[in-house]
């Protein structure tokens, strides 16, 4: 039993420290740059993602956005969620995320109602270099 507890403790500690050199809160924590996902990445590998949206084909407005209490942007690396940003005002119509890791391959925009239920969503692919603009038309 003691060996099992020690093995478990060692495994947990190894997991805690194995990523410590990659985690960051600011560029000062890294040899290169701190990505918006909280990991250190090479400056020349950072990408930028612009998420734009319309509502029923038109620019978002106070009236057209009324059903959406808030929006959330979620970034994925494969099937795994890498990071998310919320709440985002619907009327904004566009958000830009710089200093993102090139491992991200998809972004999803989700609209929630006042009760927190998903009322619409859309997603798009992210290019592994440069700037990717993803445009999503919400049907609120």
What confidence score (pLDDT) does residue 12 get?
A: 39
Q: What is the mean pLDDT of residues 15-39?
A: 77
- The architecture that CATH gives domain 43-138 is Sandwich (2.60)
| 102-130: average pLDDT | 97
The Cβ of residue 24 has, within 10 Å, a number of other Cβ atoms equal to: 19
Q: What pLDDT is stored for residue 22 in this prediction?
A: 74
Percent of the chain scoring above 70 in pLDDT: 85
Does the pLDDT value for residue 28 go beyond 70?
A: yes
What is the pLDDT of the chain when averaged over all its residues?
88
Name the pLDDT band for 2 (thresholds 50, 70, 90): very low
Listed by start position, the domains of the chain span 43-138
Reported as a pLDDT band with limits 50, 70 and 90, residue 94 is very high
- Give the pLDDT confidence score for residue 82 in this predicted structure: 94
The pLDDT confidence band at residue 108, using thresholds 50, 70 and 90, is: very high
């Amino acid at each position: 039993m003691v060996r099992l507890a020690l093995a478990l403790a060692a495994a947990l500690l190894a997991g805690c420290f194995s990523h410590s050199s990659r985690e960051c809160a600011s560029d000062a924590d890294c040899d290169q740059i701190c990505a918006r996902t909280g990991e250190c990445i090479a400056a020349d590998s950072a990408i930028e993602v612009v998420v734009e949206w319309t509502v029923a084909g038109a620019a978002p407005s106070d009236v057209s956005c009324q059903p959406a209490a808030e929006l959330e942007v979620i970034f994925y690396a494969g099937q795994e969620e890498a990071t998310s940003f919320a709440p985002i005002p619907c009327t904004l119509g566009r958000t830009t995320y710089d200093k993102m890791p090139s491992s991200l391959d998809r972004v999803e925009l989700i609209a929630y109602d006042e009760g927190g239920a998903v009322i619409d969503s859309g997603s798009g692919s992210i290019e592994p270099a440069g700037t990717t603009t993803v445009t999503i038309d919400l049907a609120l």
